[in-house]
A and B are shown apart, each in its own frame.
Chain A
Amino acid sequence: MTSIPLLREREKQIHDKAGGAPFEMACDRHSLAGSVSQRACVFCGSRVVLYPIADALHLVHGPIGCAAYTWDIRGALSSGPQLHRMSFSTDLGEREVIFGGEKRLYKALTELIAAYRPKAAFVYSTCIVGIIGDDVAAVCRRVEKEQAIPVLPVHSEGFKGTKKDGYKAACDALFGLVGTGDTTDIAPVSINILGEFNIGGEAWLIRRYYEQMGVQVVSVLTGDGRVDDVRRAHGATLNVVQCSGAMTFLAEQMQARFGIPYIRASYFGLEDTAKALYDVAAHFSDHPDVRARTETLVREAVAAVMPELRRIRAVLEGKCAAVYVGGAFKVFSLIKALRLIGMRVVLAGSQTGNADDYAHMRALCDPDTVILDDANPLELSRFVVEKGADLFIGGVKERPIAYKLGLGFCDHNHERKTPLAGFEGMRNFAREVHLSVTSPVWEIVKQSSFKC
């Protein structure tokens, strides 16, 4: 089915529809040892979810690396406090590994809270903490009592599962805050936006849509986040959850304890953005004015971007794209968004999709699309070449691979610098794709050798 060597164990994580094999994706499993997977760890998942809460203290309990590598690398913008952009680490040494790091953690927390007076503190456990057996929760409880602010342990030891388990650990920590704030001024038509991290200012766009619809946004979890907003999130009447499930865990917990229903949403592409807004309007169907305002908003916003999208489509028509990103939900949206600008997806994959996700992905894709779970660079590069892609959509580690192959690239991960969500985001996305795919540099690549 393919010309690259594959591990037998990985065969079921790759589906080449042209091969006509029955579709049965093995996914949701731990990466094989020895793989050059593009995935990360539990700690990474927790950090992604909680990092945007800008007025909280984020203390990484472990050796220096985990704090150093996550120091301000995600463009999760804050309109106010910038405390989340500092890097705080207990910087554990040999001594603590032998004698335990609880004392050091206590001291660090106490010093930091005295210095910064944050609204809350998150303490991330790293691999080593799980091994040396520090009772982080106990230290947190003690400091919480002494300092009178919430101090929340995040059980994010790197080896205890996948990035998804890190999302869950983060949601558990957040759930410790939800329900502790005042909800008196919250309207009946109100939501929380979950799983939106305000990369490039996307949360601001989405919030504005809802406000235009007459829907109060109680909190965005966690983009441009504030501790007080999280604390009163249980006052909203609906949770709107974006992404493949980084924050579904929290939505489920809130449903169980506070009876708040949740719906899923994606804000990538015109179609999915409109659907998300209409779904929310439908939830508030006893407020017909919301629906009316939504219709106006969508009509005007789509009309504003369509002329440019049509122009771009004329250029990109028939070009091919490869999409390999973290979550499967984003892949669905991107397939549709790319279709809108005339592009065909020839490779689709994710780091963390589950069986349902891949079934849905298969249904969305063209017959000859290759579908990959937890792929490695060899697989990605070979399939991209075999399938003749013109564009690669991925994250930081995929960008130089795409460029080496002479493909256009769009970062749809934390290094995007303009909002790609919402209606305006679709226009930005199309512009970026257009710019990259039609760059003269790819012509130069083809003639770069003097031999011809």
Chain B
Amino acid sequence: MLLRHTTADIKERKALTVNPAKTCQPIGAMYAALGIHGCLPHSHGSQGCYAYHRSTLTRHYKEPVMAATSAFTEGASVFGGQANLLQAIDNIFTVYEPEVIAVHTTCLSETIGDDIPQIVNKAKADGRIPEGKYVFHANTPSYVGSHVTGFASMTKAMVDYFAESGPRSRTINLIPGFVEPADMTEIRRLATEMGISAILFPDTARVLNGPLTGKYRMFPEGGVTIDQLRQSGASVGSIALGALASAPAGLAMDAKCKVPCAVLNLPIGLHDTDLFVDTLRRMAGVNVPETIDLERGQLVDAISDWHPYLYGKRVGLVGDPDQLLALSRFLTALDMRPVYLVTGSPAGKKFEEQLRETLADAGDDLRIAVPGDMFLFHQWIKERSVDLLMGNTYLKYIARDEDIPFVRCGFPILDRMGHSYFPTVGYRGALRLLEKMLDAVLDRKERDSSDIEFELVL
């Protein structure tokens, strides 16, 4: 029992997080920045921050993850990090030659009060930024928000720095949220399938799920270009997927360039994908092609085929707010019962209300913690167990100790493959989620069956 120390007896904790269900802002900013073509994320702080972020992202994606650091010393912490950042900008453009440097701050540089725009302006004035290259930034102190808000801030910074108004194009901006490269590809595919030209940002596809070619490229093929970001200000509309991760960028686009923005749930599951497709259709003024109808129909067919096996299953979920909301809607549509939900991200009262509304009929023991941690979640399970767990790899301790089937989803996944290549968004993504949940539930049913109950056809 790895978590033998967890007791069912819940005490209020005010000063302590045990087994967190979040991490800090900078890693989200780094991930978002990797979704720009030719971009080197830069961590303005000490050397450990970016080493940890790179290691975590590397473990999750099994891909090289590039970033640079200001490598703060005691001196920088006393006198400010301006000299470090200036030197860094110099060195990076000399040696690594990225198109753009995306600076994010850390607890250290925020607390000593470094003014990044001022430093970047100085770098520009000093001629340290080569012609046609860019440096932009987001403030991501680690003691505020979570990895999701860090992602949101860096995505918003792309709008703040680059989007330009212009004569309206027919393009639609898609802001996919803190999802996997495969999800970004799927979101784009749905739009393409409908004949819509889209600018998707950030876009980590082919950056963090690139091919093996025998060559190492520090800046892989994928990513939204600065030109595209510039043009995004002239798009006919934006769809921001996920209120926490994407709305700030979408709304900033509206404010800055008067591009109207629809904020939707992540398109996970039937209804939220419907909503996404419908919004796309109306915004672009197109019809939904038969191919998408077919995908939808197949999903509905699979749900009807398999609904008796999932009906009434109690589910515990740990994850990021946008994912939790969409997943809850999907599970509810499958007649499952999401009863325990924890996110580490401080996503606010409104989010919690939305979640409670979605889950009003989920069960008599609905429990939600925003923010909470995995220790609390485990305590709930000790009081009354669930039939299925869904969340990142760290949930595996609870799954093992309490012997509960477990579907990995979210960030980070450190011990399985698939998330880089197979989406969980869209109708196809919903099929995959359905398959994974059924595999977990049915494998368990068969494991627990006696010889007599063990049947060929389920």
Chain A interface (Cβ < 8 Å from any Cβ of B)? 5-7, 30-44, 62-71, 73, 82-83, 85-94, 96-97, 103-108, 111-112, 115-116, 126-128, 130-132, 158-162, 376-378, 381, 385, 396-397, 399-401, 403-406, 445-446, 448-449
Contact between A97 and B22, CB atoms less than 8 A apart: no
Q: Which of the residues B19, B87, B213 comes within 8 Å of A33, measured between beta carbons?
A: B87
16 contacts between A and B (CB under 8 A): A7-B94, A30-B73, A34-B88, A37-B47, A41-B51, A44-B48, A65-B52, A86-B18, A96-B143, A97-B111, A127-B46, A158-B47, A159-B73, A377-B66, A377-B218, A446-B214
Contact between A397 and B107, CB atoms less than 8 A apart: no
Q: How many chain B residues have a CB neighbour from A under 8 Å?
A: 83
Also in contact, A85 and B2, with CB within 8 A (given A63-B107, A159-B72, A159-B77)? yes
Cα distance, A132 to B112, chains bound together (Å): 9
Contact between A397 and B65, CB atoms less than 8 A apart: yes
The distance from the CB of A98 to the nearest CB of chain B, in whole angstroms, is: 10
Contacts of B27 in A (CB 8 A): 65
Also in contact, A131 and B112, with CB within 8 A (given A69-B56, A87-B20, A88-B18)? yes
Contact between A30 and B71, CB atoms less than 8 A apart: yes
Q: Which of the residues A381, A385, A397, A406 comes within 8 Å of B55, measured between beta carbons?
A: A397
Contacts of B344 in A (CB 8 A): 64
Contacts of A445 in B (CB 8 A): 212-214
Also in contact, A64 and B20, with CB within 8 A (given A34-B70, A160-B74, A377-B66)? yes
Contact between A36 and B67, CB atoms less than 8 A apart: yes
Also in contact, A127 and B45, with CB within 8 A (given A36-B68, A397-B55)? yes
Contact between B73 and A32, CB atoms less than 8 A apart: no
Contact between A71 and B394, CB atoms less than 8 A apart: yes
Contact between A33 and B85, CB atoms less than 8 A apart: yes
Cα distance, A132 to B110, chains bound together (Å): 12
Contact between B143 and A158, CB atoms less than 8 A apart: no
The distance from the CB of A64 to the nearest CB of chain B, in whole angstroms, is: 5
Question: With A377-B66, A377-B218, A381-B216 given, can you name 19 additional A-B contacts, CB distance below 8 Å?
Answer: A33-B71, A34-B68, A36-B66, A43-B48, A63-B141, A64-B17, A66-B48, A68-B22, A85-B2, A89-B17, A90-B17, A108-B16, A112-B16, A128-B143, A396-B59, A400-B58, A400-B63, A404-B215, A445-B214
Contact between B91 and A34, CB atoms less than 8 A apart: yes
B106 at the interface (CB under 8 A from A): yes
Contacts of A396 in B (CB 8 A): 55, 58-59
Contact between B20 and A158, CB atoms less than 8 A apart: no
Contact between B48 and A35, CB atoms less than 8 A apart: no
Residue of A nearest to B150 (CB): A65
Q: Which of the residues B16, B26, B47 comes within 8 Å of A91, measured between beta carbons?
A: B16
**Per-residue interface assignment for chain B, residues 211 to 247, with 1 indicating a CB less than 8 Å from any chain A CB and 0 otherwise:** 1111111100000000000000000000000000000
Contacts of A89 in B (CB 8 A): 16-18, 20
Contact between A88 and B16, CB atoms less than 8 A apart: yes
B62 at the interface (CB under 8 A from A): yes
Cα distance, A111 to B111, chains bound together (Å): 28
The distance from the CB of A347 to the nearest CB of chain B, in whole angstroms, is: 14
Contacts of B67 in A (CB 8 A): 36
Cα distance, A7 to B64, chains bound together (Å): 22
Residue of B nearest to A381 (CB): B216
Contacts of B42 in A (CB 8 A): 34
Cα distance, A161 to B218, chains bound together (Å): 28
Residue of B nearest to A104 (CB): B15
Top 9 A-B pairs ranked by shortest CB distance?
Answer: A41-B48, A65-B24, A34-B88, A34-B91, A69-B52, A107-B15, A68-B23, A63-B142, A91-B17
Contacts of A69 in B (CB 8 A): 23, 52-53, 55-56
Contacts of A34 in B (CB 8 A): 42, 68-71, 87-92, 95
B108 at the interface (CB under 8 A from A): yes
Contact between B95 and A378, CB atoms less than 8 A apart: yes
Residue of B nearest to A97 (CB): B143
Contact between A37 and B69, CB atoms less than 8 A apart: yes
Q: Which of the residues B53, B74, B91, B217 comes within 8 Å of A7, measured between beta carbons?
A: B91
Cα distance, A89 to B374, chains bound together (Å): 13
Contacts of A86 in B (CB 8 A): 3, 5, 18-19
Contact between A131 and B108, CB atoms less than 8 A apart: yes
Contact between A65 and B74, CB atoms less than 8 A apart: no
The distance from the CB of A95 to the nearest CB of chain B, in whole angstroms, is: 9
The distance from the CB of B244 to the nearest CB of chain A, in whole angstroms, is: 16
Of B51, B54, B88, most buried by chain A (CB within 10 Å of CB) is B51
Contacts of B144 in A (CB 8 A): 93-94
Contact between A401 and B212, CB atoms less than 8 A apart: no
Contact between B51 and A111, CB atoms less than 8 A apart: no
Contacts of A7 in B (CB 8 A): 91, 94-95
The distance from the CB of B28 to the nearest CB of chain A, in whole angstroms, is: 11
The distance from the CB of A149 to the nearest CB of chain B, in whole angstroms, is: 16
Cα distance, A403 to B72, chains bound together (Å): 31
Q: Which of the residues B2, B40, B76, B213 comes within 8 Å of A82, measured between beta carbons?
A: B2
Cα distance, A6 to B91, chains bound together (Å): 9
The distance from the CB of B406 to the nearest CB of chain A, in whole angstroms, is: 16
Q: Which of the residues A73, A159, A401 comes within 8 Å of B74, measured between beta carbons?
A: A159
The distance from the CB of A334 to the nearest CB of chain B, in whole angstroms, is: 21
Contact between B216 and A404, CB atoms less than 8 A apart: yes
Q: Which of the residues B5, B15, B46, B49 comes within 8 Å of A116, measured between beta carbons?
A: B5
Contact between B19 and A71, CB atoms less than 8 A apart: yes
Contact between B45 and A39, CB atoms less than 8 A apart: no
Cα distance, A70 to B51, chains bound together (Å): 11
